[in-house]
């Protein structure tokens, strides 16, 4: 064996010293001190306000990764390591309070200074891992309040159910059913916290809601007054439900997707009796294992007995055949990571879904069971269901707005109609971008009988944008959109907190557009209704019981996927 030279020994010693220094510099700081009460407050706020974008385990999706390895400063107080920014409490407080240009809303008008301080420290702690939720847990939570044979055999009221609006009252954990003809609140019912969506049965009789606390509520509108007939909990965080709509299976099954645990559940459509749970944990399209692949949007096909299930973190789109749920057949389509929401194209053959943090839209051909295209868009597309119309130059298009980009993207969609063959060269391309005054759009909407496209900007940090909507003329899309100041039109006094104008929704006949004016929990909110043709104010629905209205779902349009 050779004896090392003095030079070699010195070099080895220097290398060891360098490793020691690097280890010392890279040592993470201890998490900031928090009391047990502060941790509980942080846990509650994180679930209610943050988990949807950043994930229960804080691994990120639409929002950034918030794990402690980069939210905490280093032990020596430095905020930079190998080009990676380490945030620390003061910077986190600024981000939470003021928001970001990437689409994160400012919380200085939602949370107190004390709560912002708690959140800045809470997200430097090790993430809490919620418990799993099994079929037995679902069975234990299931409440069949009124069996099917004890429900009405025909409609027991004179309400025009086709034009009823199901309105989420986010922070009160309620759903308001509003008569679209009279503009009167028909009934307010308790539901899960912060209902994410309302879906309609194939028949239009039942309303299904799912709260962010995982509670599914089944409401029967054939009673003299709307009545909750069943409830069930699917987990601790959920976003999506839909029924079976293919001929012969109408409302036989209900599927629900959860953010936690990452799985989807199948239930009886008219009772919510739990039947099956399927986990979505697995590999991403990049070939990496992910422990929290959340189920984002789910839609029901009308051309096959299938659901389209979009798994956010993995980028996998599942076509779930429900014709035999004992022997479930699933087609897995690779797209792009961070799938979120989307809707059908005009033909109802192609499902368009945003892979938002990948800045792409995936088009799924449900007839062939394959990916038709993966389309690059502006930053963080967020379509809701999107909007379908015929472009004067490019034919059938589907529109999406963006949380992170100041544009509405119009994507040419394929059509089997002979008259649309001349547009084929444009298919699956962004053919036009409509300029918006800033980023922060959540929803775009139109209607087959409308000549307008409506877009909101509730996540924009500027009051003049967040409290307004923008209306484009489909006859001349190069024309500057008309700005409608929804907050001003409501007649409500201005408050320090923003009242965000959100979620345009058409009436059944396409003549009216309803906008939620979403204030703070202690501020008066409203539904502001415009004439779609003249853009003139028609009606303001406001009531002390209208607490934080957000999503609104017209029965007919939701039932038939009209957007």
**15 within some domain:** no
**506 within some domain:** no
* Among 122, 156, 183, residue at a domain's last position: 122
pLDDT single digits (tens) 516-539? 999 987 889 999 999 999 999 999
- Residues 83 and 204 reside in one and the same domain: no
From 543, 532, 451, 446, select the one nearest 484 (Cα to Cα): 532
Is-catalytic flag, 104? Answer: yes
- What's the pLDDT band for 79 if we cut at 50, 70, 90? very low
**258 within some domain:** yes
- Residues 223 and 294 reside in one and the same domain: yes
- Residues 95 and 33 reside in one and the same domain: yes
- The confidence score (pLDDT) of residue 29 equals 67
pLDDT single digits (tens) 240-281? 999 999 999 999 999 999 999 999 999 999 999 999 999 999
Determine the Cα–Cα distance for residues 255 and 320; give it in Å rounded to an integer.
10
Is-catalytic flag, 53? Answer: yes
From 300, 233, 290, select the one nearest 267 (Cα to Cα): 233
- Residues 218 and 320 reside in one and the same domain: yes
- What's the pLDDT band for 25 if we cut at 50, 70, 90? very low
- Residues 219 and 324 reside in one and the same domain: yes
* Among 334, 353, 369, residue at a domain's last position: 334
From 419, 469, 418, select the one nearest 446 (Cα to Cα): 469
List the CATH number of the domain containing 61: 1.10.760.10
- Residues 76 and 223 reside in one and the same domain: no
Given a cut of 60, is residue 379 above it in pLDDT?
yes
Is-catalytic flag, 352? Answer: no
Q: Which position among 50, 138, 234, 546 bears the catalytic label?
A: 50
CA separation, residue 102 to residues 57, 356, 384, 406 (Å):
21, 12, 18, 11
- The confidence score (pLDDT) of residue 401 equals 98
- Residues 84 and 143 reside in one and the same domain: no
**Which residues span the domain enclosing 293?**
134-147+194-334
Within 10 angstroms of residue 479's Cβ, the number of other Cβ atoms is 10
- Residues 141 and 110 reside in one and the same domain: no
- The confidence score (pLDDT) of residue 102 equals 65
- The confidence score (pLDDT) of residue 49 equals 83
- The confidence score (pLDDT) of residue 3 equals 43
- Residues 305 and 212 reside in one and the same domain: yes
As for how many domains the chain has, the answer is 2
- The confidence score (pLDDT) of residue 521 equals 78
From 563, 561, 562, 552, select the one nearest 164 (Cα to Cα): 552
Q: Which position among 104, 119, 221, 436 bears the catalytic label?
A: 104
**389 within some domain:** no
- Residues 293 and 328 reside in one and the same domain: yes
Q: Which position among 196, 340, 402, 426 bears the catalytic label?
A: 340
CA dihedral 333, 337, 340, 345 (to 10 degrees): -50
- What's the pLDDT band for 559 if we cut at 50, 70, 90? very high
Environment class of residue 534 by beta-carbon count within 10 Å: exposed (0-12), middle (13-18) or buried (19+)?
exposed
Determine the Cα–Cα distance for residues 338 and 360; give it in Å rounded to an integer.
10
Is-catalytic flag, 340? Answer: yes
Given a cut of 90, is residue 188 above it in pLDDT?
yes
Q: Which position among 196, 359, 382, 503 bears the catalytic label?
A: 382
Q: What is the pTM of this model?
A: 0.86
- Residues 75 and 140 reside in one and the same domain: no
- The confidence score (pLDDT) of residue 11 equals 42
User: How much of the chain is helix, strand and coil, in % rounded to 5?
Assistant: 20, 35, 45
- The confidence score (pLDDT) of residue 19 equals 33
pLDDT single digits (tens) 91-132? 899 889 888 766 677 788 778 999 999 999 999 999 888 899
Given a cut of 60, is residue 81 above it in pLDDT?
no
- The confidence score (pLDDT) of residue 74 equals 56
- Residues 117 and 142 reside in one and the same domain: no
**108 within some domain:** yes
Is-catalytic flag, 50? Answer: yes
Determine the Cα–Cα distance for residues 61 and 247; give it in Å rounded to an integer.
36
Average pLDDT of 327-342? 97
**442 within some domain:** no
| Mean per-residue pLDDT of the chain | 91
């Amino acid at each position: 064996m050779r004896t090392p030279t003095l030079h070699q020994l010195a070099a080895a010693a220097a290398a060891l010293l360098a490793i020691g220094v690097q280890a010392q510099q890279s040592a993470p700081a201890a998490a900031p001190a928090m009391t047990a009460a502060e941790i509980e407050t942080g846990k509650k706020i994180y679930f209610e306000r943050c988990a949807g974008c950043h994930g229960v385990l804080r691994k990120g999706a639409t929002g950034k990764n918030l794990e402690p390895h980069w939210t905490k400063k280093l032990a020596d107080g430095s905020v930079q390591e190998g080009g990676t920014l380490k945030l620390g409490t003061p910077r986190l407080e600024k981000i939470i309070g003021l928001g970001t240009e990437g689409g994160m809303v400012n919380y200085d008008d939602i949370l107190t200074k004390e709560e912002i301080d708690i959140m800045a420290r809470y997200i430097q702690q090790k993430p809490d891992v919620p418990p799993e939720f099994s079929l037995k847990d679902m069975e234990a939570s299931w409440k069949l309040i009124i069996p099917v044979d004890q429900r009405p055999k025909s409609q027991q009221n004179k309400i025009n159910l086709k034009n009823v609006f199901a309105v989420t009252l986010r922070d009160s954990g309620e759903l308001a059913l509003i008569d679209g003809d009279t503009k009167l609140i028909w009934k307010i019912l308790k539901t899960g916290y912060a209902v994410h969506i309302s879906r309609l049965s194939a028949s239009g009789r039942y309303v299904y809601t799912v709260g962010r606390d995982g509670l599914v509520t089944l409401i029967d509108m054939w009673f003299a007054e709307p009545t909750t007939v069943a409830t069930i909990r699917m987990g601790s965080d959920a976003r999506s439900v839909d029924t079976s709509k293919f001929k012969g299976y109408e409302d036989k099954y209900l599927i629900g997707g959860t953010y936690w645990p990452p799985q989807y559940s199948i239930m009886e459509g008219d009772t919510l009796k739990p039947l099956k749970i399927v986990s979505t944990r697995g590999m991403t399209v990049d070939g990496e294992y992910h422990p929290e692949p959340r189920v984002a949007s789910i839609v029901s096909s009308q051309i096959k007995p299938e659901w389209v299930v979009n798994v956010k973190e993995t980028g996998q789109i599942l076509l779930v055949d429900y014709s035999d749920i004992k022997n479930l057949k699933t087609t897995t389509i690779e797209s792009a990571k961070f799938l979120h929401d989307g809707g059908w194209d005009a033909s109802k053959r192609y499902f368009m879904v945003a892979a938002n943090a990948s800045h792409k839209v995936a088009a799924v051909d449900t007839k062939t069971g394959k990916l038709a295209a993966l389309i690059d868009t502006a930053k963080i597309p967020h379509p809701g269901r999107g909007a379908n119309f015929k472009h004067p130059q490019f034919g059938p298009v589907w529109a999406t707005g963006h949380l992170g980009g100041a544009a509405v993207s119009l994507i040419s969609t394929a059509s089997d109609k002979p008259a649309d063959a001349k547009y084929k060269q444009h298919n699956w391309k962004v053919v036009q971008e409509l300029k918006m005054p800033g980023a922060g759009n959540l929803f775009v909407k139109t209607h087959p009988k409308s000549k307008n496209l409506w877009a909101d900007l509730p996540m924009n940090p500027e009051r003049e944008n967040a409290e307004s909507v923008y209306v484009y003329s489909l006859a001349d899309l190069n024309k500057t959109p008309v700005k409608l100041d929804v907050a001003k039109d409501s007649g409500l006094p201005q408050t320090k907190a923003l009242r965000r104008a959100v979620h345009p929704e058409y009436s059944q006949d396409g003549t009216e557009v309803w906008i939620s004016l979403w204030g703070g929990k202690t501020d008066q909110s409203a539904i502001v209704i415009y004439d779609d043709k003249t853009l003139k104010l028609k009606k303001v629905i406001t009531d002390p019981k209208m607490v934080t209205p957000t999503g609104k779902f017209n029965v007919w349009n939701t039932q038939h996927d009209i957007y």
